[in-house]
């Protein structure tokens, strides 16, 4: 019989619950976060995401249940809890900074951990470079833009190289440039430093891009947990309802002659899908799975629609188009493709996507 080493999760909750007065914020949460992984917690406002992260950061005590960090029960003495917290970094939705320079803000966690002056200086400058704020050392932190302040908060949480990084909606209400920078930093510290990351977000696209696994919270309960690709490939009705799923259409479905189904989604538009379901049906098509061209192309895609560009949105690393093809479709393309095709408002374009890209909800 082969001996298999048991790996202890970095952080684990057992029947974790939290109440405020008579209101239950979390109910019996059982979750494990392995070392070196990125796990996203998604759910609508009020689902318990922030409460879960605050409990895991040992900022609050649970009403019931247990939290284990590195195999140790966190229901311990105050001094031991402080020692455990110093192995974690946390970034809140709104940056909380001192009215000091950027350098002093980022250096603060190193001072309370008794890092040497030389090590402090190296870590601060290295971390500011990582978040794209080299040259900001002497600027007053409270005078920064919202996106810059959030990057300082991220630097402050990472500068001492924590084992666990907890991020509570770190990019909410930020512009695309700052969102892109923060997302890149998250991936970089996970891949290069092996930092374990727990991020809460209501943005499903962000969760899928950053995390290997996803936990879905609903009214304080763990609705589902699993691989990001599996959960987002065919999201539940609940997940789709708050997660900004685009290209959602309801129509009448009937079986076609060649093993596919034909769905009439209105506006004179019929699309083919791989489903055996008939009658009323709701489907969605992921924006990145729709191919954009200036004229019809020869491909294996069973769906080809002609439309007119109604809206153009710059997403920093890509461009999002709203296209009227009888029904309004949202598509994402690279900036290079956008420029090469010389797309503008009112441009006539073609959309094509496979029957397998039409997901039944």
Of residues 69, 11, 8, 6, the one with CA closest to residue 198: 11
CA distance 263 to 261: 6
Pick the range with the lowest mean pLDDT from 56-60, 279-283, 338-342: 279-283
Of 3-17, 52-66, 257-271, where does the model show the most confidence? 52-66
pLDDT band at 241 (very low <50, low <70, confident <90, very high): low
* pLDDT more than 70, % of the chain: 95
pLDDT band at 359 (very low <50, low <70, confident <90, very high): confident
Considering only residues 332 and 129, tell me which one the structure prediction assigns the higher pLDDT.
129
CA distance 141 to 98: 7
* Tokens encoding 165: 């990084």
* Tokens encoding 221: 């309960």
Q: Is the pLDDT of residue 206 over 90?
A: no
Q: What is the chain's mean pLDDT, rounded?
A: 91
Kindly state the average pLDDT of the residues 131-155.
Answer: 96
Residues 95, 96, 101: CA angle, nearest 5 degrees: 100
Q: Do 11-242 and 248-360 come out as alike in CATH topology?
A: no
pTM: 0.72
Instruction: For 248-360, give the CATH class.
Output: mainly beta
pLDDT band at 85 (very low <50, low <70, confident <90, very high): very high
Q: Is the pLDDT of residue 119 over 90?
A: yes
For residues 281 and 360, is the Cβ–Cβ distance under 8 A?
yes
DSSP symbols for 111-158? HHTT--HHHHHHHHHHHHHHTT-TT-TTSBGGGS-HHHHHHHHHHHHH
pLDDT of amino acid 175: 78
pLDDT of amino acid 84: 97
Q: Is the pLDDT of residue 351 over 80?
A: yes
Q: Is the pLDDT of residue 5 over 60?
A: no
Q: Is the pLDDT of residue 237 over 80?
A: no
Domain boundary assignment for the chain: 11-242, 248-360
pLDDT in tens, 211-235: 999 999 999 999 999 998 888 776 7
> What one-character DSSP code corresponds to residue 208?
H
Pick the range with the lowest mean pLDDT from 15-24, 141-150, 237-246, 318-327: 237-246
11-242 adopts what CATH topology?
Answer: Rossmann fold (3.40.50)
Kindly state the average pLDDT of the residues 301-319.
Answer: 88
CA distance 330 to 340: 19
pLDDT band at 246 (very low <50, low <70, confident <90, very high): confident
Kindly state the average pLDDT of the residues 334-342.
Answer: 90
pLDDT of amino acid 99: 95
pLDDT of amino acid 45: 81
pLDDT of amino acid 271: 94
CA distance 180 to 1: 48
CA distance 125 to 263: 57
pLDDT band at 243 (very low <50, low <70, confident <90, very high): low
pLDDT of amino acid 13: 98
Residues 6 or more apart in contact with residue 89 via CB below 8 angstroms? 109, 156, 157, 158, 160, 162, 164, 165, 166
Q: Is the pLDDT of residue 257 over 80?
A: no
pLDDT of amino acid 275: 85
pLDDT band at 245 (very low <50, low <70, confident <90, very high): low
Q: Is the pLDDT of residue 7 over 80?
A: no
SS3 for 216?
strand
């Amino acid at each position: 019989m082969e001996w298999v080493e048991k790996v202890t999760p970095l952080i684990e909750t057992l029947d974790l619950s939290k109440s405020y007065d008579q209101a239950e914020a979390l109910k019996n949460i059982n979750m494990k976060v392995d070392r070196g992984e990125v796990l996203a917690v998604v759910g609508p406002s009020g689902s318990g995401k922030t409460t879960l992260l605050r409990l895991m950061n040992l900022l609050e005590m649970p009403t019931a249940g247990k939290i284990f960090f590195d195999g140790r029960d966190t229901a311990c003495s105050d001094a031991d809890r402080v020692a455990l917290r110093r192995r974690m970094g946390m970034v809140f939705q709104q940056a909380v900074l001192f009215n000091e320079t950027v350098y002093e803000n980022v250096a603060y966690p190193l001072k309370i951990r008794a890092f040497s002056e030389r090590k402090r200086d190296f870590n601060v400058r290295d971390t500011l470079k990582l978040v794209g704020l080299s040259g900001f050392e002497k600027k007053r932190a409270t005078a920064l833009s919202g996106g810059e302040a959030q990057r300082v908060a991220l630097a402050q949480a990472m500068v001492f190289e924590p084992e666990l990084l907890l991020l509570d909606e770190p990019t909410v209400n930020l512009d695309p440039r700052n969102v892109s920078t923060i997302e890149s930093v998250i991936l970089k510290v996970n891949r290069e430093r092996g930092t374990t990351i727990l991020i809460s977000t209501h943005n499903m696209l962000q969760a899928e891009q950053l995390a290997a696994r996803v936990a879905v919270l609903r009214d304080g309960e763990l609705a589902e947990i699993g691989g990001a690709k599996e959960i987002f490939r065919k999201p539940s009705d609940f997940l789709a309802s708050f997660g900004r799923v685009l290209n959602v259409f309801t129509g009448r479905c009937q079986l076609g002659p060649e093993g596919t189904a034909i769905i009439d989604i209105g506006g004179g538009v019929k699309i083919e899908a791989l489903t055996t379901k008939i009658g009323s049906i709701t489907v969605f098509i992921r924006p990145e799975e729709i191919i954009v061209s200036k004229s019809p192309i020869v491909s294996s895609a069973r769906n080809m629609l002609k439309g007119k560009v109604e809206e153009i949105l710059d997403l920093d690393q890509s461009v999002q188009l709203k296209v009227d093809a009888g029904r309004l479709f949202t598509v994402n393309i690279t900036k290079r493709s956008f420029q090469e095709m010389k797309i503008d408002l009112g441009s006539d374009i073609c959309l094509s996507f496979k029957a397998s890209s039409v997901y039944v909800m």
